[in-house]
Structure 1
Amino acid sequence: MTAPAGYHLAQVNVGRLRTDTDDPRVAEFMANLDRVNGLGKRMPGFVWMMEGSGEPGTGNTEAKIDGDPRFVSNLTVWEDVESLERFVWGTIHKQFYEKRAEWFETLGEMHFAMWWVPEGHRPSLDEALARLDHLKTHGDSDHAFGWSYLKEARMWQTHACAPVAAE
């Protein structure tokens, strides 16, 4: 499914850390948030990212889900599928993705969703979580979808890691 004219691609990714954010067992993840997020912001096709407090090394860890400080989220908007794919599978981000089982619990359910948003729209975390819930309940649709729904998405097929944490 190609982006409708006048639309961008939004994505939300949530996970639950195995420990609190100040625990040494997640120190590598926390220490690299600014590096990986900064790279994403400099990528061609990047449009917007939900920001946390702005404090270095915190990413969006302060945007608690259901009041749980160990649930963390990432919410971004991209010009197109290819731009998001390049970032996820073609940069250092992939190295951190491969290590996610060290830092995140296995949720046993969908934790990632994408959907089209009108250019200029900045989705809220509540909106993103509603899209994720819709995907969990109804499967892929124009309302919310995963990588396999996008015919133009190719990199995930060859670069994605085995579904270990939260898939």
Structure 2
Amino acid sequence: MPHLALYTFGVLKAPLADPAPLTQEFYDMGEAVYQMIGQHPGYLARAEAADGERGVLFGADWGAWGEFVVPTWYGKGRTAETTALAATLSLWTGLRPAFDAVYTGLHRAALNTRHDWFERTGHPSHVSWWVSDGATPTWQDGVSRLEHLHDHGSAPHAFTFTHSFAPDGKYLKGGC
């Protein structure tokens, strides 16, 4: 049975290493959100760096998730001191469990304050697609599909929760 891959990407207003209260608030809340998401029904896995430290994304060992890459339009730093982004890559049993995890609980509360932390870029902040059972999506897959979504809109190849598709490619009227 196929699984849902979900990639999220946002450009932070300040680098993760910035000691400012707003950046600290995002980071602290992020840790709690990760813990809750990891316990959500339908959650399978997320990309985690084997040797990652706070703010170290580029050059970290991501194992089967591949090399960490970002969309071409990201123009901020790439070092631990200058990285100003938040990205996730996860696997889910289906569309509804992923949607429920994103739009309920602590993550929903975080979404309500996202404009305090993230720049408005004019680019989509997430993309989903179906992968074969046993397949691990890569960071490059996520970036390619996010850019495809931006350039072409939702399609079976790259879609949003609002304009989503079933594993067989059929459009799901009304979203998930």
TM-score where L is the length of structure 2: 0.75
| 1:22 maps to 2:17 | yes
1:63 touches 1:72 (CA, 8 Å); kept in 2?
no
What CA distance in whole angstroms lies between the structure 2 residues aligned with 1:37 and 1:75? 12
Aligned-residue offset at 1:134:
1.1
| 1:11 maps to 2:25 | no
Runs of 4+ with >6 A deviation: none
Count of residues in Structure 1 that have an aligned counterpart in Structure 2: 146
What CA distance in whole angstroms lies between the structure 2 residues aligned with 1:54 and 1:40? 21
| 1:135 maps to 2:149 | yes
Aligned-residue offset at 1:114:
0.5
What CA distance in whole angstroms lies between the structure 1 residues aligned with 2:96 and 2:119? 28
1:63 touches 1:73 (CA, 8 Å); kept in 2?
no
Aligned-residue offset at 1:53:
5.2
| 1:85 maps to 2:99 | yes
Pick one of 35, 39, 62 that aligns with 1:38.
Answer: 35
2:16 touches 2:85 (CA, 8 Å); kept in 1?
no
| 1:106 maps to 2:120 | yes
Question: For residue 117 of structure 1, what is the aligned residue in structure 2?
Answer: 131
Q: Which amino acid aligns with 1:37?
A: Y
What CA distance in whole angstroms lies between the structure 2 residues aligned with 1:113 and 1:91? 21
Per-residue displacement from partner, 1:3-62 (whole Å, max 9, x unpaired)? xxx201111110111011132221111112221111111111001101135667x3xx43
Aligned-residue offset at 1:153:
4.2
Question: For residue 48 of structure 2, what is the aligned residue in structure 1?
Answer: 51
Give 5+ residue unaligned stretches, structure 2: 59-69, 165-171
2:99 touches 2:161 (CA, 8 Å); kept in 1?
no
What CA distance in whole angstroms lies between the structure 2 residues aligned with 1:134 and 1:73? 17
2:15 touches 2:85 (CA, 8 Å); kept in 1?
no
| 1:71 maps to 2:85 | yes
Question: For residue 158 of structure 2, what is the aligned residue in structure 1?
Answer: 144
